[in-house]
Structure 1
Amino acid sequence: MNDEQRRRELRDFLRTRRARLSPEEMGFPVGRRRTPGLRREEVAQLASVSTTWYSWLEQGQDIRVSAQVLESLVRALKLTAEERNHLFMLALGQSPPDLTEQRESISPVHQRVLDHFEAGPAYITGRRWDILAWNQVASLLFGDFSVLLQRERNFVWFFFTNEAHRHMLVDWEDHAQFVLSKFRSTCSRYLGDERLIELIEDLQRVSPEFRDWWSRHDVFGRPFGRKEYEHSLVGRLVFEYTAFLVAEATDLRFVVYTPLPESDTLEKLQQLKELHIKVIFTKTSSE
């Protein structure tokens, strides 16, 4: 198959995959549509790419395509494993990488962004919800992730097994059920991942709540919300949180907690920082 034939096959494949998706099920208004399925701009929105770029790709134009962007299209178009392989062969001329074996890492740029965000806790998680990086405020509120074992630095494990966090978070049960349902929707993308299977089995063993709720098969979620914490030193902390996918590595989620404007959370976080500095200074002076 020459390049022109390959691009033509890619064009037709993308069009047919787009046409089979229901706008309503994908969260778009139905309205009056001349053709079935999603519009190009809707697919582009779901894949976090520009409409122009996606249009060029679907038109069969000779443009550069990365594996990361193709993975975004796989999720946006709800492709099966076989369709994912077919997409990679048409777009890149090679099979896709094994998702479960890719080593996850963050760049120094990501860490610098975290370090410069001081308004609230922020961290980055991977495909299995492992906590890969975090800022100082996250350590102040949740504890020092660097001293935890690798398993303990998984956000779902932390959420269901860390007693200090459980008692500090207001309405823990509601938040835990939401986390679990969001986690299940992620797991469906990596069926057969041995490390995920092991994590789920261990959580069912150590957490009665996880075991009971996992059997419900709830799948829902939104990338934003509100959390309140009752901290033993400074009292009630109120945050809005949201999650962003990292553009060049869409298995990474950038989670940011922002103090609610009408609360005094920002001032209380500053108190926590000052208390932390005093503890370090006292410890250093005594050594």
Structure 2
Amino acid sequence: MGDVTTVAAPNGRRRPELAAFLRSRRARVTPADVGMPPGLRRRTPGLRREEVAQLSGVGVTWYTWLEQGRPINASPQVLDAVARTLRLDEPEREHLYHLADVPCEPDREAPVVEVGPEIQGIIDALDPHPAVVYNGRYDILATNPAYRDLFDIPEIRSMGVRNVLWTLFTVPEPSCPVLFREKELPVMVATLRSEYGRHAGEPAWESFIAKLSEASPYFARLWKTGDVVPPGPRVKTFRHPAVGEIRMTSVSLSINGMPECRIVTYTPNDAESGARTATLREMREKIWA
């Protein structure tokens, strides 16, 4: 592994940045971190270059040239090996690819994004207003109790799928918690397509589109239109078997440190809807009292 063929650098600033980045990441990994003895007379903070090369399965000369910022070829497989040795997290790995001017592999699935306690605390504090964290594919990453109240019906619980598009397109229409599906669902599909452009060809996305198209001919027809819209505020009407219709204004908020993820909040659009939202909370609190 390791091609020392030089190539023209399209961005003269990236290679010095790559060199500095690799040195800083190497300095923070100790021999103990990778199961190596510390050795004697170690003056280098962290791992030595030859140790990184050995652990990554690449030539010492190739890795040295890479860390010196020379314009050499770097394959995704080799960069992944270096990333594993240097214990890079996903944002650092992507940064490594950008600096090396290598596109991220299209067949890599996106890592599972975890919602930390800070974000969970924010959406919980919005109760009795529903709030949820979606990624670009409308996977449900976190919810607050009020959001779960809206979608707490047996047909949805039995699915066991944490994706709101899958829920809305496959649940029987009489049980769907969103009214006016013919108006709302096309907008959601167009929003999905606005995110899809960054993920075309990725197995996780292509599989999701194919499976949902098979499960819902309606989704398949909407997907073929090619319509694209960004996330934005909308007024939506929900129906709940216990309280009736609830009109909500939805707003999307981006989250620093969680690319392509957003908090979507729902606030009552009128006094009647506010009262019905509060009633749902009271019902829930009585159950858990």
Q: TM-score range by the shorter chain?
A: 0.5 to 0.7
Aligned 1:91-110 pairs, distance under 5 A: 100-110=109-119
Structure 1 partner of 2:124: 115
- Closer, same or farther in 2 for the Cα pair 1:200/1:165, shift >3 Å? farther
Structure 1 partner of 2:244: 235
Normalised TM-score (structure 2) = 0.61
Structure 2: gaps spanning 5 or more residues: 1-7, 18-89
Counterpart Cα distance in 2 of 1:237 and 1:211:
29
How far the C-alpha of 1:156 sits from its partner, in A, is 1.3
Give CA deviations for 1:34-89 in whole Å, capped at 9, x if unaligned.
xxxxxxxxxxxxxxxxxxxxxxxxxxxxxxxxx969x9xxxxxxxxxxxx998x21
Structure 2 partner of 1:267: 275
Counterpart Cα distance in 1 of 2:153 and 2:198:
30
The 8 Å contact of residues 128 and 278 in structure 2, kept in 1 or not, is answered as: no
Question: Which of 197, 201, 204 is residue 188 of structure 1 equivalent to?
Answer: 197
Question: Which of 152, 155, 166 is residue 164 of structure 2 equivalent to?
Answer: 155
How far the C-alpha of 1:149 sits from its partner, in A, is 5.5
- Closer, same or farther in 2 for the Cα pair 1:213/1:188, shift >3 Å? same
Aligned 1:156-175 pairs, distance under 5 A: 156-163=165-172, 167-175=176-184
Aligned 1:2-41 pairs, distance under 5 A: 6=13
**Secondary structure of 2:282's aligned partner:** helix
- Closer, same or farther in 2 for the Cα pair 1:232/1:156, shift >3 Å? same
Counterpart Cα distance in 2 of 1:129 and 1:112:
20
How far the C-alpha of 1:9 sits from its partner, in A, is 10
Structure 2 partner of 1:214: 223
- Closer, same or farther in 2 for the Cα pair 1:165/1:102, shift >3 Å? farther
Structure 2 partner of 1:226: 235
For 2:121, the aligned partner's letter is: R
Give CA deviations for 1:227-272 in whole Å, capped at 9, x if unaligned.
1123222122111001111111122111110111x33222211211
For 1:194, the aligned partner's letter is: P
How far the C-alpha of 1:199 sits from its partner, in A, is 1.1
**Secondary structure of 1:266's aligned partner:** helix
Give CA deviations for 1:4-32 in whole Å, capped at 9, x if unaligned.
9517999xxxxxxxxxxxxxxxxxxxxxx
How far the C-alpha of 1:222 sits from its partner, in A, is 4.1
- Closer, same or farther in 2 for the Cα pair 1:119/1:173, shift >3 Å? same
Deviates more, 1:157-166 or 1:229-238: 157-166
Counterpart Cα distance in 2 of 1:8 and 1:275:
60
Q: By percentage of residues, which structure has more helix?
A: 1
Structure 2 partner of 1:60: none
Counterpart Cα distance in 2 of 1:125 and 1:273:
22
Counterpart Cα distance in 2 of 1:164 and 1:111:
31
Give CA deviations for 1:142-184 in whole Å, capped at 9, x if unaligned.
128995666x211211121123686432211110111111111
Give the total of aligned pairs. 207
Larger Rg: 2
For 1:6, the aligned partner's letter is: R
Structure 1 partner of 2:188: 179
Structure 1 partner of 2:286: 278
The 8 Å contact of residues 249 and 267 in structure 2, kept in 1 or not, is answered as: yes
How far the C-alpha of 1:95 sits from its partner, in A, is 5.0
Overall identity of the aligned pairs, in %: 24
Question: Which of 202, 224, 230 is residue 211 of structure 2 equivalent to?
Answer: 202
